[in-house]
Each structure stands twice: as structure tokens, then as C-alpha cells.
């Protein structure tokens, strides 16, 4: 009755509770970066490229400590810890997972904003209709921070002018 | 003539190829006791093969360091050659019992040369321990064989087991011999000179590749020599009453009986090894000294003819 | 707190402030010239027998008040009182010096060398002011824990370390930095005559990773839980618990009762596997591999159980400030009961096997004796202290988590040899099983994680736990904006390791690995954690070709 196994010549499956290698489902990821903020060892990075208009969420399982904080904070359930544990690979690049998402292009100035198209879509989905209509958000969300601030400032100045006049 | 050649061939096979298998079996037995699957019983062959194929890394330019494994190998080999394999004794002459003791001591000397030829406190400590151990156990072995020689009135290892008569002192001599063989074989708790977790295999610490392989192989052959001596002393006196050892079939039957007993004893040793911790050198020496004095008493009893 | 009047009467005006930090924690600020006197006053107090130096914290408080500070934290143990006393003194920024306590109490040796290394605060009159923590090639006058040092800097100096001269007629027998008997790097320099050990010098901190610096510089409260757990690969959970307790005490966060019980159960499971591991290692070091394999086989039951409970065999990662992240569901409760049942029958058998193996007992008996007096002088803790007759245990003397509600014995032996330590651990294993059973029975319902608002900055507190190896003390000074201003983790081995040379003297090289292992040393714990910054790209990843080239080069040289 040996208790050892002929591993790696036999298959070994981790229990369902096991926190294994993390994996991002690229279909679900909206690129919000909540996981980036929560990750203690900086295993997940957010890299924005404003020239090409992309955001990369880069997951490096070589740095990952399997704490599952990312799983807890993910709003869409895109990042999940699988119960796989075999990470050995001759190629360092096998440890890296990249999700590339498109950034929103500002409707006013044409520059890229610091949020992704999917983020906007998600936000529009979960916000109640009344708020969307009241604030005219459907329009506003496609404008970058600077233009929005400028818009608000301009509107205020105009309003003050009117009052003064 | 043909018969002699066959025996010679079997003997050579036993001397060179059996020791790693015995070690593999011992490892398997230990694994079973420890609830492990364990390595294949041929693992020691694989280990030796890979070691012998590797270039050694030399920590020193000294010739002694390079030559020590070969001295050890030659001594271990020489020790086996005076032992009876069935009816066949490769090199038989009167007084070979002393030669046996000498070449065994030579093996330890090779270990000491290996240990002292490098400036490393681990190998030095190992060589020191080997020296102390051998100085305390070689007399016990000598006394044990001496009792047998006295009993059989023979100084040849091949002749002793065929001529012994059964006396009370003989039983004690068997116990002495078993103890001496066990200690000298360096089995746990007496693997003090090569204690891995304390002094990193002692004298072998700086060895690698082919030289290490030679040393390991030599050690296994030395163990075989010691155990074969014990097995022969045990089996031959019984077999000589059952079959005529001098005939071919009788010799072969004796050889098979020797092998069977050897395997059993190796298995028992594996169990003893698995259920013991290593002794400290001072503890071992104290114990060996006690056994030596007990041995002298046994010798006295034997001299009185009991 | 008792004896405060006595203290005031003795030192009068020179005590600047007395403040209560938490229900059992007091902070006494004194003039720097009497710091050592006050520390020794408490350490040698006739009424408090088992008082010991728990930790010492040096802080760069220049950004706050233009001064450095040092605080000695003493714990009052035994059955005397449930009190921790911090004795603090501020030192001027331009000349940070204080009088060393080491000549009066050996246990302060490492602590004072550490503040000298990391903060440049000089203990005057220290008998052995050599480098302790920083690497041999670290330049002098660069102090990494000062606030003006950036965590990703790594300066280089000349490599040099002044080892002690070997005594007359001895040779040097090095154990480590790499040695089969050491599971982590450490360097014991034995000065031997033949096989006998005459003296010993120690150089460690090879796995100093700068955890404290990274925690103070880059991480948030919740993130530190995970790095604190990684201080140790064996008793990590007690570290993260101690850290959480420190923050909870500083932030006055009330932890839900269920979380406390879950922590207790996990802490005891950790102790179980740690003690089984130690028994295995002790067997292996003496060549008794069967004991080793069987001890680890039993340990595996606990490891698998922990995997089911928390998601990982070790580094459970379930502690957060304010509670725990995972709850015990009913089916998991049954699992624990099953494993305990198995352990109870099999552990009894293992202990019988061990005690009936004469050769093993022979190796442990009368070896590595640490008498009570020395144990007290070095402030050793845990099974090492209890094996030398020190009757204390953080779980009993300063109840934390749910230990206040549970009933257990604290085994104490007077012999002080390796065997006594082994017996303490064996008995503790039985007690752990008993504690888990009680905790499971009494497990209350409710929440497992407390919500808390922002933690006010610049509050101090310590959190302590009884790790399998002894007392773990984590000190936290909160900072602004969800970060820690000063974090100091002290593992049990930090107090135990300096006593090892005293235990080795007079024994043989053959005993050395066993004696060293008998304190169950945990070098990484003691040395804490360097994190490489990703942005600055300090980690250079070798491509396969490059690596091959390098290794070919290396083998050619040979």
C-alpha cells in the first residue's frame, strides 16, 4: 500500500477548492484593471498605448502567488484560478497571458481615452435607464476626461455670462 | 575443466554484477517499509552506469586522489577471490584468511587516502572516522574468524566451513561474525564514515563522475565479500552433509543455496537499516570495544575446546 | 498595569510619557540615557519571571518629528500578567546613538546590530558590532530602512566580512551556506579540534529579502497580508495572523468571532504539520529515514486537508485585515474530523516507533543542552524555551484568536536537550489535535470579515502569535492613505538562533546538524524578505540560447 504516486507518469488532479494557475477569459475581460490594483506581487500589469489605442492586460503567472485576490475583485468573472498547477515550460513566454482591448476614441478631440470600449459597454449595461437618460450619459461616455472637463467649464462660463448679461 | 570454467564465469558474474542488484533490492525493501513505491530494483545499475560515463571533476592534482578508487576496487575484488563459490575457490591457499583481513583493511586505507588527499574538513573527518571504525572492528572480525579457524584447525577460508565441528563457542562465533560483518559493511547505524547528513559522504565528498562510480561499486563489492564470507560459513557446513560439494551438481546446489541465503540476509539487513538511526562515532567505538572483549572471551572458550 | 508607580518612583522625571495602546499593550517613552536601565528593570523584575525581549523596532521618524526612535518591546509571560511593554526613546537625527542593552542582556545582541545595519542607529558599548543583516558587499553608510532610501536601489560596495579568528589549535569546519542538513542558507563556522566543537561563529541573513521595506513603500494593508504569509514557507499563517492582529489593534477593528475560530483552527493545523515536519527532519538527520518518511506521510494528511480548506497546501492566503476570506462549509468540517481521527491513531504509532528506536534516542539524549539560565539570557522562545524549563506560551499568556475560550496544556521539560525539545513538540501535537476538536465543536456562526473605515495614521501596535517555533511579533505603525509607515516582523527563530553557538560548544560535528535543527530554525523567517521591481526591469530573463551559452562557458572553465 504505497502512498507515493508515480507522478509525473500518472495524471494528478487537484481538488476543486485548489487555487491554481490564473487564466483570463478574453471574452469577458473589460480591461478595468481592478485586478491590477489588487494584485500584491504585481503579476498583472495594465499597459495603455495611446498611439495605437489599445490597452493590454498582461498576466505573468511566473510572478503570481495564487492568492486569488484578482478573482475576488473582478467585476465580470473574467479572471479565474483554474485547478491546474503544472507551470513548467522551456519558454518563459508561455507564462504570460495578454488580453488586448480597444480604447475609446474621444468623439470631440479624437484622442484615445483611458478607458476601454468594453468598460463603457459594461457601464451602460449595468446603470439604470433613468440615470442614463437624465445625465445624457450615452453621449458623454465617449468623450475623454479633458474634453468633458472643458465642456463643463465652457458650459459654466457660458451660463455665468448669460447670468451676468 | 569445463566445469571449472562454468564456475569461474558464474563467480565473475556474481562478483561484478550481483552487488548493484542486491543494493537495488535493499532499496526496494526499505521503500516498502516506508510505504513508498520506490525506485526500480535495477536503479543502482542505472546510477553506476551514469556515474561511470561521466568525466570526474578533480579538486586536486594529487595522484593519490585519482588512484584511491581503483585501490579500493582492487581490494574489494581481491577479498572476494579467496571466498568459496560452491566448491570453487578462485584463489585458494593456506593462510588466505589473513589475506582476506589485509585486503579489507586495504579498502579502508584507500578510503583514508581518498579522504586525506584533499584539504577539506569534511573528507578529513570522514577519513578519521573510517580509521577509528576500522581499528575498532577489524580485531572483532579477526577474533571471529580466529575462533572458526581454531575450531576447524584450518587457516584457509575455503577449508574452515568444511571442517568445523559443532561446539557452543561456535554459535557465539557466528554472532560475532555477523556483528563484525554488519559493522564493517557500513550499514546503518554504522554508516558513520559516509554519514550523508553530517559530513556529506565523508571521504567521497569531493569525488564525482567515474571515480565516484568506481568507489560506489567497490563499496558494494566489499559488502558482498563480507556477506559472502558469512553466508559461506553458514551454508557450507550444512550443505556438506546433504550433497557432495566436490561434484559439479553438488557444487552448483551449494552455490544456489549460498545465493538464496545471501538474498535473505540482505533483505533482513535492509529491515534493520530501515529501523535504525545512525550512531555517533564514539558510541560505535564504545560498542565495538565491548564486543571485542566479548570476542576474546569466546576465543578463550574455543581454545578450551568447548 | 502594575509597577507603574514603582517605575515612576525610580526614574521620576525622565519618563516622558506613558500611553496605553491596546488592552494589553503599553508604550513608555523615556529619555534616551536611561533606555537601557528601564529595559533591564523590566527584564530582571523579580515578580515577572519569564519576561523577555520580544522585539525591538528602530524607526526613521524624521519626516514626522525630525528624530529617530528605538522601541524595545518586552512581553511579560508565564502566569504573571498579560502585558506587552514598549519602551521607546527618541534619538536626535544628527547623532542617533543609544546605550546598548547587550552587555546586560545577551538577547538584545541581534536587534541592536540590526538597527545599526538598517537605520544607522548606533548602540554604544555593543560587544560585537559586526554587520548582521546586510550582505557582505553592501557599502557602509547606506541605510536601507531610512525613509530617504528608495526600495529599488541596490548599491554595491566591496565584499568583506570579519569572521572571528579561530581559537588556538582549531580548524575551521564550515556548515553551510549550503549543506544537506540545512534546508535554507546559513553559515555556521565551527572551530573544531578533531570532532569536538570548541567555538562557533554565525553568518546568516543570506535570504534577507527586504519585506519590511517593500511593505512600507509599495503595498497596501491588505496586500501585506500575503507578503507577510510568505515570510515563511512553513509557518506563514502565523505571520499573516500576527500582522493582521497588529493592524486590527492599531485600527481598533473588531474581528467577527467566527473568523477568530477559523484562524485558530488553521493556526493549529499549521502547528500540526510543522511539528510533524520537524520530527521527520530530526529522523532524517540521524539517518533514520523510516521515521522521516512516516512523519511526512502523516503530515501529508494535514497538507491535503489544508488544500481542501483553503485552496492551497501551504500559504493558505485566507487572512485579511479584519477577518478571513474563506468559510468552513459543513462538508469541510467533516473532512477535518476525519483527518484528526486518522492522525490520532497513526501519530501514536509513530511516537511509539520513535521512542522504541534506541539508536535514535541515543542520538538525541543529552545533546545540545541549553540550561534554563542561558535560555533566559538569550530570550529564547517556543519549544526551545519550554524544553529548557521556561513555562510560557503566547496562546496561554496573551490569548489571541479564540485561544481564550479553549482549554489546553503547555508542556514544559527541564532537561534542555534535543530529546526534551522533541518531547515538547510531540506533546504539543497532541494538544493541537485537542484544540482543533474543541474549536470545531464551539465554532460560532456569523460573518467572517469585518468592514472597516480608514485606519487612522501614525498609530502603533504589535500583534503576537505562538508560531510552531515560538513567539512571532509583528509591529505596525500605521501610515497615511491605506499604507503602513513602519512594519517590523520578528520570527521566533530570530531569538533562538543566537543561542545556537552556546548549544554547540563541547559537542561533536556529528551532533551539529541535529542541534541546529533542534531549534527548528527558519532562516527566511528570521531574515525576512528583496523584491525586484518590475518597472525598473531588474529581473533579467535569460533567453534559452543565452542560458545555454553561459552554462557552456561555465563548464569550459572547469
Instruction: Check whether A146 has a pLDDT greater than 90.
Output: no
- Written as nine digits, the cell of B211 is 571515480
| Continuous segment of H or E residues that includes residue B282 | helix B281-303
Residue A101 lies in a domain: yes
Which residues have a Cβ under 8 Å from the Cβ of B56 and sit 6 or more positions away? B207, B208, B209, B210, B211, B212
**pLDDT the model gives residue C431:** 92
- Tell me the shortest Cα–Cα distance from C144 to chain A, in angstroms: 21
Q: Which residue of A has its CA nearest to C541?
A: A92
Task: Identify which of A123-132, B252-261, C42-51, C422-431 has the greatest average pLDDT.
Answer: C422-431
**pLDDT the model gives residue C241:** 92
C-alpha A19: how far from chain center: 21
**pLDDT the model gives residue C546:** 53
Q: What is the DSSP pairing of strand C122-124 with strand C97-99?
A: parallel
- How many domains is chain A built from? 1
| Continuous segment of H or E residues that includes residue A48 | strand A44-49
List the single residue in B192, B274, B278 with the smallest CB-CB distance to C290. B274
Distances (CA, A) of B71 to B20, B79, C238, C365: 19, 12, 55, 39
d(CA A147, CA C362): 82
Pick the CATH number of C4-162 from 3.40.50.150, 3.30.1280.10, 3.30.460.80, 3.40.50.300: 3.30.460.80
Cα torsion C530, C536, C541, C547: sign: negative
Mean pLDDT of the region B177-185: 89
Candidates C211, C218, C223: best to mutate against A (most CBs of A within 10 A) is C223
d(CA B299, CA B140): 11
Lowest mean pLDDT across A147-151, B280-284, C144-148, C352-356: A147-151
Instruction: Check whether A131 has a pLDDT greater than 80.
Output: no
Return residues 54-73 of B near A (CB < 8 Å): none
Which has more confidence, C42 or B20?
B20
Whether B189 contacts chain C with CB within 8 A: yes
Q: Which residue of C has its CA nearest to A47?
A: C535
Going by the DSSP 8-state scheme, the letter that residue A75 receives in this structure is: S
Contact C246, C476 (CB under 8 A): yes
- Tell me the shortest Cα–Cα distance from C189 to chain B, in angstroms: 12
How many CB atoms sit inside 10 A of residue B276's CB? 23
d(CA C413, CA C407): 20
B28 chain-A contacts, CB cut-off 8 A:
none
Task: List alpha helices for C311-371, DSSP H.
Answer: 330-356, 358-364
Going by the DSSP 8-state scheme, the letter that residue A30 receives in this structure is: -
Model confidence over A26-56: pLDDT tens digits? 888 888 888 888 888 888 988 888 888 888 8
- How many domains is chain B built from? 1
Model confidence over B104-163: pLDDT tens digits? 888 888 988 888 888 888 888 888 888 888 888 888 888 888 888 888 887 788 778 777
**pLDDT the model gives residue B218:** 92
Candidates B131, B197, B270: best to mutate against C (most CBs of C within 10 A) is B197
CATH code: domain of residue A152: 3.30.70.20
Query: B155 lies in which domain range?
Result: 2-303
- Written as nine digits, the cell of C483 is 499604507
Q: What is the DSSP pairing of strand C460-467 with strand C470-478?
A: antiparallel
| ipTM score assigned to the predicted complex | 0.82
List the single residue in C230, C300, C308 with the smallest CB-CB distance to A17. C308
Domain boundaries, chain C: 4-162, 211-524
**Residues in chain C with pLDDT values less than 70:** 1, 80, 524-525, 527-558
Going by the DSSP 8-state scheme, the letter that residue A2 receives in this structure is: -
Residue the block writes with cell 465543536:
C441
**pLDDT the model gives residue C549:** 54
- Dihedral of the CA atoms B96, B98, B102, B103 (nearest 10)? 20
User: Under DSSP, is residue C535 helix (H, G, I), strand (E, B) or coil?
Assistant: coil
- Written as nine digits, the cell of B40 is 526500480
Instruction: Indicate yes or no: CB of B36 within 8 angstroms of CB of A1.
Output: no
What CATH architecture applies to the domain C211-524? Orthogonal Bundle (1.10)
Query: A55 lies in which domain range?
Result: 22-164
Amino acid at each position: 500500500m504505497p502512498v507515493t504516486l508515480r507522478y509525473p507518469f500518472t495524471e494528478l488532479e487537484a481538488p476543486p477548492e485548489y487555487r491554481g494557475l490564473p487564466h483570463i477569459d478574453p471574452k469577458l475581460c473589460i480591461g478595468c484593471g481592478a485586478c491590477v490594483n489588487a494584485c500584491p506581487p504585481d503579476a498583472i500589469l495594465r499597459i495603455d498605448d495611446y498611439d495605437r489605442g489599445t490597452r493590454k492586460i498582461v498576466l505573468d503567472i511566473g510572478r503570481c502567488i495564487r492568492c486569488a485576490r484578482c478573482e475576488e475583485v473582478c467585476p465580470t468573472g473574467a479572471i479565474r484560478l483554474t485547478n491546474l498547477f503544472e507551470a513548467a515550460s522551456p519558454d518563459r513566454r508561455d507564462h504570460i497571458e495578454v488580453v488586448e482591448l480597444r480604447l475609446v476614441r474621444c468623439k470631440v478631440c479624437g484622442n484615445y481615452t483611458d478607458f476601454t470600449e468594453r468598460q463603457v459597454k459594461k457601464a451602460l449595461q449595468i446603470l439604470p435607464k433613468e440615470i442614463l437618460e437624465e445625465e445624457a450619459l450615452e453621449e458623454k461616455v465617449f468623450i475623454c476626461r479633458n474634453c468633458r472637463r472643458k465642456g463643463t467649464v465652457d458650459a459654466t462660463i457660458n451660463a455665468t455670462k448669460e447670468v451676468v448679461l | 575443466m569445463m566445469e571449472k570454467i562454468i564456475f569461474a564465469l558464474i563467480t565473475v558474474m556474481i562478483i561484478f554484477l550481483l552487488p548493484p542488484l542486491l543494493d537495488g533490492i535493499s532499496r526496494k525493501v526499505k521503500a516498502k517499509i516506508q510505504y513508498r513505491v520506490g525506485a526500480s530494483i535495477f536503479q543502482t545499475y542505472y546510477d553506476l552506469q551514469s556515474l561511470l560515463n561521466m568525466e570526474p571533476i578533480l579538486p586536486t592534482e594529487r595522484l593519490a586522489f585519482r588512484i584511491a578508487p581503483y585501490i579500493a576496487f582492487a581490494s574489494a575484488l581481491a577479498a572476494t577471490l579467496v571466498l568459496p563459490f560452491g566448491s570453487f575457490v578462485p584463489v585458494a591457499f593456506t593462510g588466505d584468511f589473513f589475506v582476506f583481513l589485509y585486503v579489507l583493511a586495504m579498502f579502508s586505507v584507500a578510503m583514508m587516502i581518498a579522504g586525506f588527499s584533499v584539504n577539506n574538513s569534511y573528507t578529513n573527518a570522514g577519513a578519521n572516522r573510517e580509521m577509528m571504525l576500522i581499528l575498532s572492528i577489524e580485531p572483532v572480525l579477526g577474533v571471529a574468524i580466529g575462533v572458526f579457524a581454531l575450531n576447524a584447525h584450518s587457516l584457509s577460508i575455503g577449508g574452515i566451513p568444511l571442517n568445523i565441528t559443532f561446539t557452543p563457542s561456535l554459535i557465539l562465533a557466528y554472532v560475532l561474525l555477523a556483528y563484525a560483518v554488519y559493522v564493517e559493511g557500513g550499514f546503518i547505524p554504522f554508516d558513520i564514515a559516509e554519514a550523508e547528513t553530517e559530513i556529506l559522504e565523508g571521504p567521497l565528498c569531493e569525488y564525482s563522475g567515474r571515480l565516484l562510480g568506481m568507489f560506489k561499486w567497490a563499496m558494494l563489492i566489499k559488502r558482498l565479500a563480507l556477506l559472502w564470507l558469512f553466508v559461506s560459513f553458514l551454508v557450507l557446513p550444512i550443505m556438506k552433509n546433504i550433497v557432495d560439494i566436490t561434484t559439479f551438481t553438488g557444487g552448483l546446489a551449494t552455490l544456489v543455496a549460498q545465493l538464496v541465503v545471501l538474498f535473505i540476509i540482505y533483505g533482513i539487513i535492509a529491515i534493520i537499516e530501515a529501523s535504525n538511526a545512525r550512531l555517533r562515532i564514539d558510541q560505535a567505538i564504545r560498542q565495538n570495544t565491548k564486543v571485542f572483549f566479548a570476542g576474546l572471551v569466546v576465543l578463550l572458550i574455543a581454545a578450551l575446546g568447548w | 498595569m502594575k509597577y507603574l508607580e514603582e517605575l515612576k518612583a525610580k526614574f521620576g522625571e525622565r519618563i516622558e510619557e506613558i500611553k496605553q495602546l491596546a488592552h494589553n499593550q503599553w508604550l513608555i517613552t523615556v529619555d534616551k540615557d536611561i533606555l537601557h536601565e528601564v529595559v533591564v528593570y523590566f527584564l530582571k523584575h523579580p515578580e515577572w519571571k519569564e519576561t523577555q525581549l520580544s522585539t525591538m523596532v528602530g524607526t526613521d521618524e524624521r519626516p514626522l518629528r525630525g528624530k529617530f526612535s528605538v522601541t524595545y518591546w518586552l512581553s511579560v509571560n508565564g502566569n504573571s500578567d498579560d502585558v506587552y511593554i514598549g519602551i521607546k526613546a527618541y534619538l536626535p537625527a544628527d547623532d542617533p546613538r543609544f546605550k546598548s542593552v547587550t552587555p546586560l542582556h545577551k538577547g538584545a545582541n541581534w536587534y541592536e546590530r540590526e538597527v545599526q545595519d538598517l537605520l544607522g542607529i548606533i548602540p554604544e558599548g555593543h560587544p560585537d558590532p559586526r554587520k548582521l543583516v546586510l550582505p557582505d558587499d553592501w557599502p557602509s553608510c547606506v541605510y536601507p530602512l531610512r525613509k530617504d532610501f528608495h526600495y529599488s536601489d541596490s548599491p554595491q560596495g566591496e565584499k568583506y566580512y570579519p569572521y572571528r579568528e579561530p581559537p588556538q589549535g582549531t580548524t575551521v569546519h564550515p556548515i553551510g551556506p549550503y549543506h544537506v542538513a540545512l534546508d535554507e542558507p546559513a553559515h555556521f563556522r565551527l572551530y573544531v579540534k578533531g570532532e569536538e566543537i570548541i567555538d562557533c561563529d554565525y553568518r546568516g541573513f543570506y535570504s534577507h529579502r527586504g519585506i519590511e521595506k517593500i511593505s512600507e513603500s509599495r503595498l497596501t494593508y491588505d496586500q501585506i497580508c500575503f507578503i507577510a504569509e510568505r515570510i515563511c514557507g512553513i509557518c506563514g499563517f502565523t505571520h499573516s495572523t500576527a500582522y493582521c492582529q497588529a493592524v486590527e489593534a492599531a485600527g481598533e477593528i473588531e474581528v467577527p468571532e467566527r473568523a477568530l475560530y477559523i484562524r485558530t483552527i488553521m493556526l493549529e493545523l499549521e502547528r500540526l504539520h510543522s511539528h510533524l515536519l520537524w520530527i521527520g527532519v530530526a529522523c532524517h538527520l540521524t539517518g533514520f529515514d523510516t521515521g522521516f518518511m512516516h512523519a511526512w506521510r502523516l503530515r501529508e494528511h494535514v497538507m491535503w486537508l489544508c488544500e481542501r480548506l483553503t485552496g492551497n497546501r501551504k500559504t493558505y492566503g485566507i487572512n485579511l485585515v479584519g477577518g478571513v476570506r474563506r468559510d468552513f462549509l459543513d462538508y469541510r468540517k467533516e473532512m477535518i474530523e476525519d483527518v484528526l481521527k486518522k492522525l490520532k491513531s497513526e501519530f501514536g504509532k509513530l511516537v511509539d516507533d520513535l521512542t522504541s528506536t534506541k539508536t535514535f534516542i541515543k542520538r538525541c539524549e543529552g545533546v545540545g543542552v541549553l540550561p534554563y539560565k542561558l535560555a533566559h539570557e538569550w530570550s529564547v522562545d517556543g519549544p526551545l524555551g519550554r524544553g529548557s524549563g521556561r513555562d510560557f506560551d503566547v496562546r496561554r499568556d496573551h490569548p489571541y484568536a479564540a485561544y481564550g475560550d479553549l482549554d489546553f496544556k503547555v508542556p514544559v521539560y527541564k532537561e534542555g536537550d534535543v530529546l526534551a525539545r522533541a518531547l515538547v513538540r510531540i506533546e504539543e501535537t497532541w494538544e493541537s489535535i485537542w484544540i482543533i476538536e474543541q474549536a470545531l465543536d464551539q465554532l460560532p456562526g456569523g460573518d467572517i470579515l469585518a468592514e472597516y473605515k480608514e485606519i487612522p495614521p501614525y498609530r502603533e501596535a504589535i500583534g503576537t502569535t505562538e508560531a510552531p517555533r515560538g513567539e512571532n511579533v509583528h509591529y505596525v505603525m500605521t501610515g497615511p492613505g491605506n499604507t503602513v509607515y513602519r512594519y517590523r516582523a520578528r520570527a521566533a527563530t530570530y531569538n533562538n538562533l543566537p543561542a545556537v553557538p552556546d548549544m554547540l560548544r563541547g559537542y561533536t560535528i556529528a551532533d551539529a546538524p541535529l542541534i541546529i535543527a533542534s531549534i527548528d530554525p527558519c532562516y527566511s523567517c528570521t531574515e525576512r524578505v528583496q523584491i525586484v521591481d518590475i518597472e525598473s526591469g531588474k529581473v533579467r530573463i535569460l533567453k534559452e540560447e543565452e542560458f545555454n551559452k553561459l552554462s557552456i562557458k561555465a563548464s569550459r572553465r572547469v
